[in-house]
Structures are given as structure tokens and as C-alpha cells.
Structure 1
């Protein structure tokens, strides 16, 4: 008999195991996928219109792309990264955010190119030039 539950939903048991095994008392417990998704979209309501639209589209596409992921480690990494993002935007720290050299070194060449293209597009929007690109084309690849 086939399970009707998606792998991201099954991740809750993995999350509970990770929470129980944590040694660091200051570490934040990981949120379940649906709760995390909803909280991110709720926080996006505090962003300016263009950033909200871009953020909402990106979050929706990433969660949709990873909906059927089976690897528990990948799921935990995915959720931890998005939870860090939620923490960043909920405190308004995204305004001063920058990538460290450690993070840049871990990116694949394709991710660096996509990041550069995203930077160019945002500069064009900021300067009022607009864009002809479809925002759905801008995605990062998971490494």
C-alpha cells in the first residue's frame, strides 16, 4: 500500500528526532514545513511591494520544488536554511544582510551566475529600468 503523505510532511518525525538529539540549549527548534511556509509568507507582508512579490514567488516555487524530497538530511538542511531566512526578515536584518566569503565559496558556479543575474536585475529595477525577465526563471539550484 502506497503512502499518501508527502516526504516533507514525513519530515516531522525527523525534526522531532533532531530536536531530541540537540545538545545546544540555545538552538532554535526547527518548525514543521507548513508552519514555516506560512510564517515566511506572513512576514513578507511587511516587505515593500516588489520585494514581497519576488519573495512570495521564490518561496512558493522552492517549497513546491522540494515537496517530494526523500533525503532526511536534505529536508532538515532545507528547513533550517528557510528558518534562518525567516529569522533574518522578521528582525529586519535583511536590509543590512550580505553574503560572507564562506557562503560564496560554497556556491556552485551556476549559483554564482544566478546570484549575479539577480543582482543585475534588482539594480535595474531600483534604477527604474524595469525588467523583461520572467521572475520564475530566477532560481537557485540546491547543491
Structure 2
């Protein structure tokens, strides 16, 4: 975790800019027990992205906030998609397993009828008896 002065230096900004971005909700640093802002390296990367969008691309801070919010939504959706894909793969594997089991039914699990007394014997034909 980085102090605001170090994070500001790494991001190439003034510490007051970081405070302003925190008040606007553009970046949300963690807090120390005394309430001081503590920035992670991920926060510093976000600050650099904010700077790039606003200075190089000419996006105002409201637009930057919207872009960042949408990027978070996309990340969340990607995570959900990955989880759903994994769940679907597990379901397909289980279905294939059940289909394999049902292809070879267990006769000991079939109900036995008392009225049926016929015995059927089956044997495969040998290749020469066609």
C-alpha cells in the first residue's frame, strides 16, 4: 500500500488531484486506521488510465467515470460468463456420464413382473450363419 504522495508521484499527478478523484469516486483507495488514503499499484494504474483518457483522448471527468464504471461491468460480466461456461461444461460431462449409464441398463434395477415366466435366451449369430 502506498501513501498518497508516493501514489501521486508514480501516477505523475499532484496529491490534490488524487484527493479530488477520490471525492468524485473515480478511484477508491483503501484507508488506514487513522483515515489516511492508501493506494495499491492497481489504483496507480487506474490513475494513469484516468490521466490518459482525460489528457490524450479529451474525455471529461464525468465521461471518464462512466467509462471506468462500464469497464467494471464488463469485467463482472466476463467473470459471470466464465463461471456459467464452467458450469455448462460440468453439466455436459454429467449428462454424458448419465447417457453412458443408460446405454447399458442394469437389469437388477428393473422391476420384475410375477406374471412373466417366459425365459428368453439370446446369443449373437456367428458370422457364417447368415
Q: If the length of structure 2 is used for normalisation, what is the TM-score?
A: 0.29
The higher-RCO structure (CA 8 Å, 6+ apart) is 1
Bigger radius of gyration among the two: 2
Q: If the length of structure 1 is used for normalisation, what is the TM-score?
A: 0.27
